[in-house]
């Protein structure tokens, strides 16, 4: 109960602070407030272009799009590539371990989750890196999926140091 009151106080402060800001800043604050409010209820279903706050960082998925090739790589026959462009900003007081293992695709047609390909150029998210507080990074994540899959869900599940799951953020997308 105390945790919910604290979170609600933070939300009220952000809303009041946003009143004195520009429209763009107000929209950004509104997006974060919305994701915090959804976290109080549980998992978050999101959309492209909105910013979502996790325990360790904020992220915005600018786009999810099928591509014919990426940096010269073409998918195997019967597959296609999906390009996800994401921005992340560190918000935790200590550096947070990040990497391609954080975001995965799900579909009712997959037997298991699909993780991004290993990076083949510098514009792709590294396998592992440390995200510092206040640091903002932008990366592509490239997924190779069956060509017959009509839609996907980009997902991120919070895990604490004991591997206990927190909220799951889901951004559905029709390909």
pLDDT tens digit string along 11-20? 555 555 555 6
Kindly state whether residues 99 and 135 are assigned to the same domain. yes
Kindly state whether residues 103 and 118 are assigned to the same domain. yes
pLDDT average, residue stretch 2-15? 51
Query: 30 in the Ramachandran plot: left (φ > 0), alpha (ψ -120 to 50) or beta?
Result: alpha
Kindly state whether residues 60 and 114 are assigned to the same domain. yes
Kindly state whether residues 2 and 72 are assigned to the same domain. no
Can you give the pLDDT at residue 37?
47
pLDDT average, residue stretch 145-174? 92
pLDDT tens digit string along 37-58?
A: 445 557 999 999 999 999 999 9
Structural domains counted in the chain? 2
- Alpha-carbon distance of 67 to 71, in angstroms, equals 11
Kindly state whether residues 64 and 134 are assigned to the same domain. yes
Q: For the chain, how are helix, strand and coil distributed in percent, rounded to 5? A: 20, 40, 40
Kindly state whether residues 76 and 106 are assigned to the same domain. yes
Kindly state whether residues 37 and 48 are assigned to the same domain. no
Kindly state whether residues 11 and 85 are assigned to the same domain. no
Which residue range forms the structural domain that includes residue 137?
44-174
- Domain boundary among the residues 26, 41, 56 is at 41
Kindly state whether residues 63 and 134 are assigned to the same domain. yes
């Amino acid at each position: 109960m105390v945790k919910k009151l604290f979170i609600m106080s933070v939300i009220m402060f952000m809303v009041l602070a946003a009143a004195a800001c520009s429209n763009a800043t107000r929209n950004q604050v509104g997006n974060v407030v919305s994701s915090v409010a959804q976290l109080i209820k549980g998992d978050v279903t999101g959309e492209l272009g909105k910013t979502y706050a996790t325990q360790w960082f904020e992220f915005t998925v600018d786009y999810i799009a099928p591509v014919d090739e990426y940096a010269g790589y073409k998918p195997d026959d019967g597959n296609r590539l999906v390009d996800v462009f994401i921005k992340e900003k560190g918000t935790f007081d200590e550096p947070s371990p990040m990497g391609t293992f954080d975001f995965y695709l799900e579909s009712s047609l997959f037997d298991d989750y699909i993780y991004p390909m290993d990076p083949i150029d510098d514009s792709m998210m590294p396998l592992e890196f440390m995200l510092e507080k206040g640091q903002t990074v932008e990366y592509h994540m490239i997924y190779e999926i069956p060509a017959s899959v009509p839609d996907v869900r980009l997902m991120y599940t919070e895990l604490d140091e004991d591997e206990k799951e927190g909220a799951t953020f889901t951004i559905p997308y029709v390909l």
